[in-house]
Chain A
Amino acid sequence: MQRIINFVLRYRNTFLYVFFAFIALVMTIRSHSYHQSKFFNSSRWVSGSIYGAGADVSSYFNLTKENKRLVEENQRLRKMLFNAQFDSIQPLDSTLAVYQVLDAKLIKNSFTSPRNYVTIDKGESDGVHQDMGVITTDGILGIVENVSNNFATVQSVLNTKSNINAKIKGTEYFGSLIWDAKNYRVVQLIDIPRLVPVVVGDTIVTGGMSSIFPENVPIGTIKKYDLNASQSFYNIDVELFSDMANIKNVYLIENRDKEEIEELESRTIE
């Protein structure tokens, strides 16, 4: 017994190190296979507030550029609106609209790590909840992952855990959008069958198979493509429309039918 105690006392620092490393590893590995850490993320009050204060200062530096981008988007939307063939009986009542849009500001951006999460300044009290889609003025950004009272973290498309339904614009061939962590401008579209005619420069948009994003939200253009190892599906490199390094204003999309769809799907699987 004496010897065991002596042994423990002699190597107490090693034991302490193993203990700390074990905690850190458990926290890391468990979240690798599952979700972002539930408790230790930047949507928490302290970190959210500090990022908010930082963003308050830094947002002044590119106000001009950001305004220009928003005006360009408005112009594009106006053009669409004026040229749209409106059905006179289409209801304009916003309570009947399936998709609801909220706005938010990015207070922390990240695009260099293999698992990028960004933080926005809207939370539960503003009506944000988990699994809402997030888009920028140009394309998609990601999906809401953790929500606190006033902040939320978003799993970016630049995340090796991200998997978003996408298709080639104008066709119904859909695949999964993933990221290989190599280049923050380029994501990968996989599982597009070989028989589909693929052309460099084609536009990739979100597919209608997910209840998170509406159909036809722009994602990017095809940069290059080749067949995968089994020679039956394409691996397509997609260059993103949104400049992930420079995002300020984002929109959150809520699908009001989502719960109904998910409930129906889970019942069907059972």
Chain B
Amino acid sequence: MSSTLIINILRFVLLVITQVLIFNNLNFLGFINPFVYVIFFYWYPIKTNRAIFMLSAFLLGLAIDIFSDTLALNALASVTIAYARPSIMRFCFGVNYDFQSFSFKNTTKVQRVTFLTLLVILHHLIFFSFEILSIAHILLILKKVLATGMVTLILCVLFSSLFSPKSE
């Protein structure tokens, strides 16, 4: 139990550092800075206390906000996907995902990628809408969500197959 805790704290710190030092400076094509830290919500244990999950989501988002001077936008987006994660999982893995026997090993690749895609899209939609906060820029928002979301998704899929957690 405590090893899961240590792994998650390590993950938290490493994700914040890689996000702010590497991925926030990527500026691919001039505007794409993928939010790779979204993978935290994919890796986080499934059977968990939701309150602690949301608290860690808020802290993770806020830590990244402090570094990138984005007010509390990352915190807002992270808390939202943390709150929505059970519903998204139910949608992707079917109703019985919270049974004891469930683990990522029993799911298909398509299911996992769908799960990740939904997390990324929800996060990016909230982040970019509140970042610009103007209906007049709706095309800019959609462009950013699609382009950044695509890159984030590709990187997250790569990350998830590179460092697949052994415990699950």
Contacts and interface: CB of A to CB of B under 8 A. Distances in A.
B37 to A, nearest CB: 15
Interface string B114-140: 000000000000000011110001001
A245 B33 CA distance: 13
A232 interface: no
A54 B68 CA distance: 14
Interface of A: 12-14, 16-17, 20-21, 23-25, 27-28, 31-32, 36-37, 40-42, 44, 46-47, 50-51, 54, 108-117, 119, 153, 181-182, 184, 245
27 contacts: A14-B83, A16-B54, A17-B83, A20-B75, A24-B75, A25-B72, A25-B76, A27-B71, A28-B73, A37-B72, A40-B62, A40-B72, A42-B66, A42-B67, A42-B69, A47-B66, A50-B17, A50-B20, A51-B21, A111-B27, A113-B131, A116-B69, A119-B69, A181-B132, A181-B137, A184-B31, A245-B30
Contacts of B68: 42, 110, 113
B50 interface: yes
A29 to B, nearest CB: 8
B79 interface: yes
Contacts of A46: 66
A40 B20 CA distance: 15
Contact of A28 (B17, B20, B69, B130): B130
A181 B140 contact: yes
Contacts of A24: 58, 61, 72-73, 75-76, 79
Give the interface size bracket for B toward A: 35 or more
Contact of A17 (B17, B54, B73, B131): B54
A27 B71 CA distance: 6
A181 B27 CA distance: 15
Contacts of A42: 66-69
A148 B163 CA distance: 38
B76 to A, nearest CB: 4
Contact of A47 (B32, B67, B130): B67
Given A24-B79, A111-B27, A41 B66 contact: yes
Contacts of A44: 66
Contacts of B33: 112
B6 interface: no
A28 B24 contact: no
Contacts of B24: 110
Nearest to B74: A24
B31 A23 contact: no
Contacts of A16: 50-51, 54
A203 to B, nearest CB: 24
B98 to A, nearest CB: 14
Contacts of A111: 27
A51 B17 CA distance: 10
Contacts of B130: 28
A21 B17 contact: no
B137 to A, nearest CB: 7
A40 B71 contact: yes
B137 A17 contact: no
Contacts of A31: 71
B76 A182 contact: no
